[in-house]
Chains A and B, each alone.
Chain A
């Protein structure tokens, strides 16, 4: 049955890929002739590149099957290792090393050390963490490694990695094959066979897989789970490094580029093998290599789709995830989530909070609270611009609260919805120009665009209906990549030249104009406060309860009569409408809209910061402003001449590494910063007797534990009482008075009968 299912999914995915390919060739076939020679060339190129993809993907699969962690930092590790390799081999820092020695040094020493460090410092603490936290920490690690690589090896210099056996090759008939390409195939084959033998034929490999199944039982069998996990991470990192170094000469050598190639393709190929099967993963890698090669050779979508080639892997990923057989509803298992058991905010509290936020926004921008922001006087236009950018991101982040925070649907594509909203707004403005706002920007359109974006979310929900957890995250990842590589770069969507200015600060609502930066900033503040208030109301509604119930257990929700599919559709539509409206405001806030604004990494940063702040709290959206706050503070310091360490810390360190580090910080604080802050803040509010009671109870428990440590648990003997009294330095009625001296535990007759 199992084998049959694997074949069905394979056939569906293959069939869909072939069908789309046929349509593409028929519709957009380039003029290039189809000769047997060209087919051979394209196939050889496709297979050798595909071999590298397979290599990268097997590393991802090895880490997943042996640690249970889906490692989004896989590409980041490969990129970092490839740059280290460049440094020692190409840049010749230190003694001159031949290529092969540099390769061995990085693959067998540097990368494994990095892998072990990741396991020991981070992953061990995440063993029982919910999936969202595990995913966010590895995504955070990816962002961190990419930022680190970008900071060490600044982008101002052009670098290149040369091929092994540069320029040498051999011939098959008329066709020349370079040695390095042939080597890719051989290396990928050797590694695949080696891994297959290691994982299935050796005791160590079997034990590595056993750790994922049941860690405690592995130890009871006598294997060392800690050492096995560390080895798995070392092995995975080595494979990432090897793939990174071999892919590097094939592409433009910069961190983002290399990462997207390594990670996205690896994820797609791994998904093809259901993140379990090594042979299918290798096939997946080769297939993607071939599809890309044939696409380059024979399909020409024209200048309108300049990056469509990059979408081959995401499209494969999308199709494969949809065709996966096992990604069904898991029945009878309460998901292991750490969603804080929060007290549901009252509507009046939401209203007070909203008014407070608007007031604070006004006070800060008007300079009334300059001691808080180190910006004396009214905000300059630079500061206002930063505030505007921050609030726009906060509004987009708000859309994640119901979807991911409450309903537990991991979504890496908030910017796809936002981009769609921005596009609709600009288009509608052109098509049905509204005269009194300069032809475009009447915000009356805002709810209309929200309504138009909702079906897009509903559509994704239909696809996502049967998925959960990791596969849902991968589906949204593929969706984000397809929109940002295929749809948004089209000139009819977001033009690449400055011919299509967005109505910057030229928006109005009926007869109110928001024509100054300050009024626009206040508009955004009000929008955010309003959104937050609506979410508070929504959380108390029947839908809010259903979403939370769905996250706790879909099966349980279904048994009490919740229509899970419909509930999912509603939450996706709601989130998509919110993000779409936020996208409109984003487009409005910028002088020109660029498709690059909506790329995956920007979207991931929003998701990461929200996760670190606490996805289920609407107010967490304000966290998105932290980068701008740091930058603003640094600029202020620079203006006042106070340059130095603090500026570097704020601008070059915290603002840049912040998102990654905050997400990594979830290792320690899995519930998010807002939860902890709220716990400290709530007891101070006069009407929160419950919070004070909770705090007191928590302190009492701690006290109890201390007393337990002093030995005052059963049997309740007088010795123990005397011992405790002397430790605490007290004399009370329980302690007999006569002969009792402070601090001396006098042996006594047992009172226990």
Chain B
């Protein structure tokens, strides 16, 4: 069996004295796409914050490529190839598009390379390279945020609520890019509240409720159980 790219063993974490994750176990195999689904407040974003080093777990083990990285800083993980596109628009609103792209070069890819790739994938960004990112439309901002994932060749990509607040046609476009990345063999962890789009891309899916993973399985099986999960009925099974 190959070493999982990302593994969480009984991870506990929270904000101050409030615990949000009560023992999360999660495995992402290399080259696979895992969709993490669940209602508001289930702890999905916190899981990503732990995996990217933004929140330190109070218990459990966080392993990346088999190595324990508890306590690693987010910038160190980012330079090591862990790429999180955070919830909302992951862009710097007061920097221009080109400057945003320059910010993507800390993990080792050269500016020219990142810029060429980003503008090729999303030509609209090329047209607006001198514009402040904060003045782009929601979809364009999300494209810019995705450009980091697409152009910097990360080892692990994590996407948080990619579809939030975007028109369906744009969501479709973004997910077609995600599918391309997945075909290229990138390991991806996707967090979404609305499941239909993401289940088409994922190899496996997990349901998260009240700070725990309650069910893991193939997307087709998970799809059936989602409604129950969203209504707050724990379908059992671990």
Contact A216/B54 with A221-B106, A708-B19 known, Cβ cut-off 8 Å: yes
Q: CB within 8 A of B78: which of A200, A221, A713, A714?
A: A221
**Chain B, range 96-155, C-beta contacts under 8 Å to A:** 99, 102-107, 111, 148
Q: Check if B105 sits within 8 Å of A203, measured CB to CB.
A: yes
Closest to B148 in A: A221
Most chain A beta carbons < 10 A, residue from B78, B103, B107: B103
Q: Check if B52 sits within 8 Å of A213, measured CB to CB.
A: no
Q: Does A372 contact B (CB under 8 A)?
A: no
Q: Which residues of A sit under 8 angstroms from B111, Cβ to Cβ? A: 203
Q: Check if A713 sits within 8 Å of B22, measured CB to CB.
A: yes
Q: Does A320 contact B (CB under 8 A)?
A: no
Q: How far is the CB of A421 from chain B (nearest CB, A)?
A: 43
Q: Check if A222 sits within 8 Å of B94, measured CB to CB.
A: no
Tell me the bound Cα distance from A704 to B52 in angstroms.
28
Tell me the bound Cα distance from A206 to B74 in angstroms.
19
Q: How far is the CB of B210 from chain A (nearest CB, A)?
A: 9
Q: Check if B79 sits within 8 Å of A222, measured CB to CB.
A: yes
Q: Which residues of B sit under 8 angstroms from A218, Cβ to Cβ? A: 75, 92, 103
Q: How far is the CB of A575 from chain B (nearest CB, A)?
A: 34
Q: Does B1 contact A (CB under 8 A)?
A: no
Q: Check if B92 sits within 8 Å of A210, measured CB to CB.
A: yes
Q: Check if B90 sits within 8 Å of A222, measured CB to CB.
A: no
Closest to A210 in B: B92
Question: Count of A residues near B, CB < 8 Å?
Answer: 26
Q: How far is the CB of A578 from chain B (nearest CB, A)?
A: 40
Q: Which residues of B sit under 8 angstroms from A91, Cβ to Cβ? A: none
Q: Check if A216 sits within 8 Å of B102, measured CB to CB.
A: no
Q: Check if B102 sits within 8 Å of A225, measured CB to CB.
A: no
Q: Does B84 contact A (CB under 8 A)?
A: yes
Q: How far is the CB of A41 from chain B (nearest CB, A)?
A: 42
Q: Which residues of A sit under 8 angstroms from B90, Cβ to Cβ? A: 217, 220
Q: Check if B99 sits within 8 Å of A220, measured CB to CB.
A: no
Contact A216/B86 with A209-B94, A224-B75 known, Cβ cut-off 8 Å: yes
Q: Does A705 contact B (CB under 8 A)?
A: yes
Q: Does B73 contact A (CB under 8 A)?
A: yes
Q: CB within 8 A of B103: which of A221, A224, A715?
A: A221
Q: Which residues of A sit under 8 angstroms from B93, Cβ to Cβ? A: 213-214
Most chain A beta carbons < 10 A, residue from B78, B84, B99: B99
Question: Count of B residues near A, CB < 8 Å?
Answer: 30
Q: CB within 8 A of B107: which of A212, A216, A222, A705?
A: A222
Q: Does A701 contact B (CB under 8 A)?
A: yes
Tell me the bound Cα distance from A209 to B74 in angstroms.
19
Q: Does B231 contact A (CB under 8 A)?
A: no
Q: Which residues of A sit under 8 angstroms from B75, Cβ to Cβ? A: 218-225
Which secondary structure characterizes the binding site on chain B?
A: mixed
Q: How far is the CB of B6 from chain A (nearest CB, A)?
A: 16
Q: How far is the CB of B172 from chain A (nearest CB, A)?
A: 25
Q: CB within 8 A of B92: which of A213, A225, A713?
A: A213
Closest to B58 in A: A709
Q: How far is the CB of A331 from chain B (nearest CB, A)?
A: 15
Q: How far is the CB of A276 from chain B (nearest CB, A)?
A: 9
Most chain B beta carbons < 10 A, residue from A209, A221, A714: A221
Q: Which residues of B sit under 8 angstroms from A708, Cβ to Cβ? A: 17, 19
Q: Does B95 contact A (CB under 8 A)?
A: yes
Contact A210/B103 with A217-B86, A219-B54, A219-B78 known, Cβ cut-off 8 Å: yes
Q: Which residues of A sit under 8 angstroms from B99, Cβ to Cβ? A: 200, 206, 209-210
Q: How far is the CB of A551 from chain B (nearest CB, A)?
A: 25
Q: Does A458 contact B (CB under 8 A)?
A: no
Q: How far is the CB of B55 from chain A (nearest CB, A)?
A: 11
Contact A704/B74 with A206-B103, A216-B54 known, Cβ cut-off 8 Å: no
Q: Does A207 contact B (CB under 8 A)?
A: yes
**Chain B, range 42-100, C-beta contacts under 8 Å to A:** 52-54, 73-75, 78-79, 83-84, 86, 90-95, 99
Most chain A beta carbons < 10 A, residue from B84, B102, B148: B102
Most chain A beta carbons < 10 A, residue from B74, B86, B91: B74
Contact A216/B74 with A209-B94, A701-B17 known, Cβ cut-off 8 Å: yes
Q: Check if B94 sits within 8 Å of A221, measured CB to CB.
A: no
Q: Which residues of A sit under 8 angstroms from B102, Cβ to Cβ? A: 203, 206
Tell me the bound Cα distance from A222 to B78 in angstroms.
5
Tell me the bound Cα distance from A223 to B148 in angstroms.
14
Tell me the bound Cα distance from A705 to B19 in angstroms.
10
Most chain A beta carbons < 10 A, residue from B78, B83, B105, B106: B106
Contact A219/B74 with A206-B95, A209-B95 known, Cβ cut-off 8 Å: yes
Tell me the bound Cα distance from A216 to B85 in angstroms.
11
Q: Check if B107 sits within 8 Å of A220, measured CB to CB.
A: no
Most chain A beta carbons < 10 A, residue from B22, B93, B94: B94
Q: Check if B92 sits within 8 Å of A217, measured CB to CB.
A: yes
Q: How far is the CB of B74 from chain A (nearest CB, A)?
A: 4
Q: How far is the CB of A6 from chain B (nearest CB, A)?
A: 14
Q: How far is the CB of A361 from chain B (nearest CB, A)?
A: 43
Most chain B beta carbons < 10 A, residue from A203, A220, A708, A715: A220
Q: How far is the CB of A710 from chain B (nearest CB, A)?
A: 12
Tell me the bound Cα distance from A705 to B15 in angstroms.
12
Q: Which residues of A sit under 8 angstroms from B107, Cβ to Cβ? A: 221-222
Q: How far is the CB of B79 from chain A (nearest CB, A)?
A: 4
Q: Check if A220 sits within 8 Å of B78, measured CB to CB.
A: yes
Tell me the bound Cα distance from A225 to B78 in angstroms.
13
Q: CB within 8 A of B106: which of A213, A223, A704, A705?
A: A223
**Chain A, range 184-210, C-beta contacts under 8 Å to B:** 200, 203, 206-207, 209-210
Q: Check if B78 sits within 8 Å of A210, measured CB to CB.
A: no
Q: Which residues of B sit under 8 angstroms from A209, Cβ to Cβ? A: 92, 94-95, 99
Tell me the bound Cα distance from A222 to B54 in angstroms.
12
Closest to B104 in A: A221
Tell me the bound Cα distance from A748 to B83 in angstroms.
43
Q: CB within 8 A of A220: which of B19, B23, B74, B95?
A: B74
Q: Check if A219 sits within 8 Å of B86, measured CB to CB.
A: no
Tell me the bound Cα distance from A209 to B52 in angstroms.
22
Tell me the bound Cα distance from A462 to B103 in angstroms.
43
16 more A-B contacts (CB under 8 A) besides A203-B105, A206-B103, A210-B99?
A: A203-B102, A209-B94, A210-B92, A213-B94, A214-B92, A214-B93, A216-B54, A216-B86, A217-B86, A218-B103, A221-B78, A221-B103, A221-B106, A224-B75, A705-B17, A713-B19
Closest 6 CB pairs of A and B: A222-B106, A222-B78, A213-B92, A219-B74, A705-B17, A222-B79
Complex A-B: 11 CB contacts under 8 Å: A203-B102, A207-B106, A209-B95, A209-B99, A210-B95, A221-B104, A222-B79, A222-B106, A224-B73, A708-B17, A713-B22
